[in-house]
Each structure stands twice: as structure tokens, then as C-alpha cells.
Structure 1
Amino acid sequence: MPLLDVNHLDVRFALRRGDVQALRDVSFSLERGERLGIVGESGAGKSVAAFSLLNLIAKPGYIAGGSIHFDGQDLTQMSDRALRHVRGHRMSMIFQDPMMTLNPVLSIGEQMVECLKAHRRISSREARAIALRKLEHVQIPSPSARLDQYPHELSGGMRQRVIIAIALLLDPDIIIADEPTTALDVTIQAEIMALLLELCEQHNVGLILITHDLGVVSQVTQRMLVMYAGRVIEQGPTREIINDPQHPYTQGLINALPQMATPGSRLNQIPGSMPSLDNLPTGCAFHPRCGFIDRADGTTRRACIDEVPGFVTSGNCRVACHMVAEMLERERIPAEEIR
């Protein structure tokens, strides 16, 4: 049984003009110690998926359907009191901006001690000793001095290391990292991701990495999900998807990487933009931007416009695309004719 098993998750936001569906039929799993990446453009639903796992969706958002089983328990059916035991204890989250996460009027030590005492019956002295060890684990220089400093006294990279130390305080089973290096420069980004990977491997902690950076995903994760307009459209082993993307949207994301363009020429880009969730196109949500909606003979795949694609299996990946389904069907029929 997977440590985390998400099935047919639907998340909606109740607005005056009607409900807006932010996540549609999202399903995936995570084994203990496994590293999973979730990628897509802004507005794809990555962060909503991450917040849903801990039931941190703020009103007017709510989980409208599906289940989130963690270690055999459905988190969507838990009381707030039971969820508090899971949040921060067994599942921790690293947010995008450490300055928005850390309390500016409390020292680093006070915040770490407070977190520990909220979940364990220990003295302040014991909690401070654990906090010091965690700061040492994340390789912060002079950790004992940092405990008495305030967030504004630390650099961006050091603040993010503190956030990682707080996430590890209670030895969680899963860490959810929501674009943890967005506000950092490239050198510090690499250091933080290398540290996070090392800590997860050492402690057999599962990692869900939310990002738009395919380069980071390819280096850190073992499996990945590609999301578009609130739906998973491709999932499978990271290397397989990076080396041989099946969905046209995934192909577009990879082709948009700077290294895929000819030096001196314009960068490749996916035409158009992510649709608004309250005005999604019919059929496949990507079809207005897709360069493969028309076949080689000039005919249009009407299914792309009229029908939401189901998942088909291609290699070790699952893909929601009518074109891929059509190609797999063409490959299957000649093989049957030969037999």
C-alpha cells in the first residue's frame, strides 16, 4: 500500500457566479521515501493540489470529492483535531517565501521550540537542543547563534535552510515543497535542492516537489506529474517523460527550455496562455493551444474539441491525450493483423 494515495480529487471554489473547479479528477500515489515532482505553468493547479493534501484550502475553497489516504487514513474525513496531528508532524510543508512563513517578531529558536512543544510533551530545554541539531543538519553556520536571531537578520538562503530545519523537526514521513527556491539566486537554489535531496535520502522521507523548473525536477525526482488547467495530463517516471514526452503540452514545456533553442534565436514557446478555470474550453482543455489537433491529412480530431480525454498507457507513462490514444490504436491493429 502506498504511503500516500490520492484518488479522483476534486477541489472547487464557491464564488457568487458559481463554483469554479480548481482540481479535476486528480489521482496519484507516493511510496515511502519516494520523490515526486508536480510541474506545469502558473494556474495549472500545482499549489492547490499541495494545499489539498493537508486540507489547507482556505474558504471559499473546499474539497468537493475524492479521497486522500495517508498511511491508510482518509485525510478528507478527519476532524480538525486529528488533522493537526498530521500537519507538521507526519506531513510537513515548505512554502515559497520564507519571509511569509517565519514570524518576524519571534527569534528562530522561539519558533522552532514552539513548533516542537505543540506536538510533543517536552521541556523548552529539550526542544531547544533538538532545534539546534536540526539547524546543524541543514548546514547553517554557527547554529547556536542563529537560534537567537530574527528572520530579518538572515540571508534568503539561510532563511530557507531554517524553513527546511523546521519541516524536519518532527521527523515527518512526507515533505511537500511548494517552489522552495523561487526567491533565491541560481547558486543558492542548487545548494538548497542538493541539501533537500540529501536529507530526504538520509532519513527516507518522501518528497513532493511543486515547481515549474523541469531542470530541478529531472535532477531531484523519480516520478513526475504534469498538470494543465487543474488536471493531470501525463504522469510516469521522470527520466522517461523528460526523454520522451508524450503529451503535446509536455513536449511544449520541454521545448521551451533555453537549451532547446538555437543560440541567438528566439526561445521556443507554447502559443496562447493557460485558460481561466471559470471558462475552460470544451473537450481537452489544451486543444486551443495544441499544434497537433489537426492530422497530417488536414482533418481535425473532433474528439479533442468535444471529449475530455481519458488516460492511456504508453510505456511506463499514463497520458490523457486523444492523439496519443489514436497513435497507440494504429500500432495495436497492425500487430494483431500479423498474428
Structure 2
Amino acid sequence: MALLEVNNLDVRFALRQGDVKALRDVCFSLDRGERLGIVGESGAGKSVAAFSLLNLIAKPGYIAGGSITFDGQELTSMSDRALRKVRGHRISMIFQDPMMTLNPVLTIGEQMIECLKAHRRISSREARAISLRKLEQVQIPSPEKRLNHYPHELSGGMRQRIIIAIALLLDPDIIIADEPTTALDVTIQAEIMALLLELCEKHNVALVLITHDLGVVSQVTQRMLVMYAGRVIEEGPTREIINDPQHPYTQGLMNALPQMATPGARLNQIRGSMPSLNKLPTGCAFHPRCDFATRPEGTPRAACTDEVPGFVSSGNCRVACHMVAEMQHAERIPVEEKPS
């Protein structure tokens, strides 16, 4: 049995004009020690999916349906008191901005000790010793001194290392990392991701990595989900999706990478923009931006405009696209040669 199983997850936000569906029928699983990447444009639902795992959706958001099973326990129906034993303990989260996560008026040591004592019955001395060991694990220089520092006294990379140390404090089974390197420069990003990968492998910790960076996903994760407008549209082994994307949206993401463009030419891009969640197109949500949703003679494909696509298998991947079966039995147009 998988460590984490998400089935038919439906998350909505109750607004005056009606409920907005932020997530629709999201399904995936995560084994112990496995690394899963979730990618997509801003507004695709990546962070909402991550926050849903710990039922951290703020009102007016709520989980409207589906199940989230962690180690045999159903999290969606769990009481707040029971959830507190899971959050930060068995499932930890690393947020985008460490300055928004760390308390500016408490020292690093006070925050780490407080976290430990909230979940374990130990003395402050024992908690401090554990905190010191975790800072050493994330390669913080002079860790004894850092315990007495306030967040503003540390660099961005140092703060993110401390956030990782706090996430590892209670030896979790899963770490959810939501854009963990967004606020850092490229060199520090690489160091932080290498450190996170090393720690997860060493301690057999499962990782859910939310990012828009396909390069990071290809280097860190074993499996990936591609999300669009609140729905998973492609899932499978990372290498297989990166090397041979099946969904037109995934192909567009790959083509948008700078290295896919001819030097000196304009960068490739997916035309249009992500639809508003309260005004989703009928049928496949991607069809207004998709080159394959229109027939060669210029007429729209009825299936793409009228029917929400189900999943079909393509190799080891699952793809939600009406065109996959047709492309499997015909010579598929290479991504870089798609008609404009």
C-alpha cells in the first residue's frame, strides 16, 4: 500500500457568485522514499494541491470531495487535534518564502525548540541538542551561533537551510516543498535542491516538490504530475515525460524552455493564458490554446470542445487528452514543428 493516496480530490472556494473549482478529480499516490514533482503554470492548482494534503486550505476554500489517505488514515475527516499530530511531525512542509515562515521576533533556537516540544515530551536541553544536530545536517556553518540569531540576521540561502532543518526536526515520512528556491539566486537554488535531495535519500523521506522549473524536476524527482486549470493532465515517470511529452500542454511547456529556441530567435510560447477557474472552457480546458484541437481544415474537433477528456495510457504515463490515441496510431507532429 502506498504511503499517501489521493483519490478524486475536489477543492472549491465559496464565493458570492458561486463555488469556484480549484481542484477537480485529482488522483495520485506516493510511496515511502519516492520523489514526486508537480508542475504547471501559475494558477494550475499546484499549491492548492499541496495545502490540501494537510487540510491547510484557508476559508472560503474547502475540500468538497475525494479522499486523502496517509499511512492508512483518512486525513480529510480527521479532527484538528488529530491533524496536529500529523502536521509538522509525520508530514512537514517547506514554503516559498522563509521570511514568511520564520517568526521574526524569536531566535532560530527558540523556534526549533518550540516545534520539538509541541510534538514530543522532552526537555529544552534535549530539544536544543536535536536542533543543533539538524543544523549540522543541513550544513549550516557555526550552528551553535545560528541558534541565537534572528531570521533577519541570516542570508536567504541560510534561512532556507534552516527551514529544511525545521522540516526534518521530527523525522517526517513526507516533506512537501512548495517552490522552495523561488526567492534565491541560481547558484544557491542548486545548492539547496542538492541538499534536499541528499537528505531525502539518506533518511528515506518521500518528497512532493511543487515547482514551475522543469529542469529541477528532471534532476530531483522520479515521477511527475502536470497540472492545468485545477486538473492533472499527464502523469508518469519523470524521464519518460521529459523525453517524450504526450499532452499538447506538456509539449508546450517543454518547447518554452530557452534551450529549445533557435539562438537569436524569439522564445517559443504557448499562445493565450490560463483560463479563470470560474470561467473554464467547455470540454478540455486547454482546447482554446491547443493546436491539435483544430482540424487541418480549420474546424474545431467536437470532442475537444464538448467533452472533458478521460485518462488514456501511453507507455508508462496517463494522459488526459482526446488526441493521444490518434497520435499513437499516426505519425505525431514533433513538438518543435507544431503549426503556429
TM-score normalised to the size of structure 1? 0.96
Partner Cα separation in structure 2 for residue 94 and residue 224 of structure 1: 18
Partner Cα separation in structure 2 for residue 301 and residue 14 of structure 1: 33
Instruction: Check if 1:115 corresponds to 2:121.
Output: no
Q: Equivalent residue for 1:68?
A: 68
Counterpart of 1:17 in structure 2: which amino acid?
Q
Q: Equivalent residue for 2:78?
A: 78
Partner Cα separation in structure 1 for residue 260 and residue 178 of structure 2: 26
Counterpart of 2:230 in structure 1: which amino acid?
G
Partner Cα separation in structure 2 for residue 105 and residue 299 of structure 1: 62
Partner Cα separation in structure 2 for residue 263 and residue 68 of structure 1: 46
Counterpart of 1:24 in structure 2: which amino acid?
R
Alignment CA distance shift 1:228-1:199 (3 Å): same
Partner Cα separation in structure 2 for residue 307 and residue 281 of structure 1: 10
Partner Cα separation in structure 2 for residue 19 and residue 299 of structure 1: 33
Q: Equivalent residue for 1:152?
A: 152
Q: Equivalent residue for 1:241?
A: 241
Q: Equivalent residue for 2:25?
A: 25
Q: Equivalent residue for 1:36?
A: 36
Partner Cα separation in structure 2 for residue 80 and residue 300 of structure 1: 49
CA-based RMSD of the aligned residues comes to 1.0
Partner Cα separation in structure 1 for residue 144 and residue 272 of structure 2: 51
Partner Cα separation in structure 2 for residue 203 and residue 148 of structure 1: 27
Counterpart of 1:226 in structure 2: which amino acid?
V
Deviation at 1:304, TM superposition (A): 0.2
1:311-330 correspondence to structure 2 within 5 Å? 311-328=311-328
Deviation at 1:326, TM superposition (A): 2.9
Partner Cα separation in structure 1 for residue 299 and residue 19 of structure 2: 36
Higher mean displacement: 295-304 or 34-43:
295-304
Instruction: Check if 1:255 corresponds to 2:264.
Output: no
Counterpart of 1:63 in structure 2: which amino acid?
I
* C-alpha distance after superposition, 1:289-331 (max 9, x if no partner): 0011123455532100000000000000000000113334679
1:192-271 correspondence to structure 2 within 5 Å? 192-271=192-271
Q: Secondary structure at the match of 2:44?
A: coil
Q: Equivalent residue for 1:289?
A: 289
Partner Cα separation in structure 1 for residue 219 and residue 34 of structure 2: 14
Counterpart of 2:24 in structure 1: which amino acid?
R
Partner Cα separation in structure 2 for residue 224 and residue 56 of structure 1: 22
Q: Equivalent residue for 1:14?
A: 14
Instruction: Check if 1:162 corresponds to 2:162.
Output: yes
Counterpart of 2:311 in structure 1: which amino acid?
F
Q: Secondary structure at the match of 1:11?
A: strand
Q: Equivalent residue for 2:274?
A: 274
Deviation at 1:31, TM superposition (A): 0.3
Counterpart of 1:156 in structure 2: which amino acid?
G
Counterpart of 1:203 in structure 2: which amino acid?
H
The answer for unaligned runs of 5 or more in structure 1 is: 332-339
Deviation at 1:88, TM superposition (A): 0.2
Alignment CA distance shift 1:330-1:244 (3 Å): closer
Higher mean displacement: 86-95 or 288-297:
288-297
Alignment CA distance shift 1:10-1:189 (3 Å): same
Q: Equivalent residue for 2:54?
A: 54
Partner Cα separation in structure 2 for residue 199 and residue 191 of structure 1: 12
Partner Cα separation in structure 2 for residue 296 and residue 67 of structure 1: 42
Q: Secondary structure at the match of 2:85?
A: helix
Instruction: Check if 1:91 corresponds to 2:91.
Output: yes
* C-alpha distance after superposition, 1:26-69 (max 9, x if no partner): 00000000000000000000000000000000000000000000
Instruction: Check if 1:137 corresponds to 2:137.
Output: yes
Q: Secondary structure at the match of 2:65?
A: strand
Partner Cα separation in structure 2 for residue 68 and residue 277 of structure 1: 23
Partner Cα separation in structure 1 for residue 276 and residue 181 of structure 2: 26
Partner Cα separation in structure 1 for residue 16 and residue 299 of structure 2: 41
Deviation at 1:146, TM superposition (A): 0.1
Q: Secondary structure at the match of 1:76?
A: coil
Partner Cα separation in structure 1 for residue 96 and residue 330 of structure 2: 44
Q: Equivalent residue for 1:336?
A: none
Partner Cα separation in structure 2 for residue 169 and residue 141 of structure 1: 18
Counterpart of 1:128 in structure 2: which amino acid?
R
Alignment CA distance shift 1:328-1:259 (3 Å): closer
Q: Equivalent residue for 1:334?
A: none
Counterpart of 1:133 in structure 2: which amino acid?
R
Identity of aligned residues (%): 87
Q: Secondary structure at the match of 2:133?
A: helix
Partner Cα separation in structure 2 for residue 44 and residue 299 of structure 1: 28
Partner Cα separation in structure 2 for residue 61 and residue 298 of structure 1: 40
Runs of 4+ in 1 over 6 A off after TM superposition: none
Q: Secondary structure at the match of 2:176?
A: strand
The answer for unaligned runs of 5 or more in structure 2 is: 332-340
Deviation at 1:85, TM superposition (A): 0.2
Q: Secondary structure at the match of 2:2?
A: coil
Partner Cα separation in structure 2 for residue 295 and residue 314 of structure 1: 22
Q: Secondary structure at the match of 1:273?
A: coil
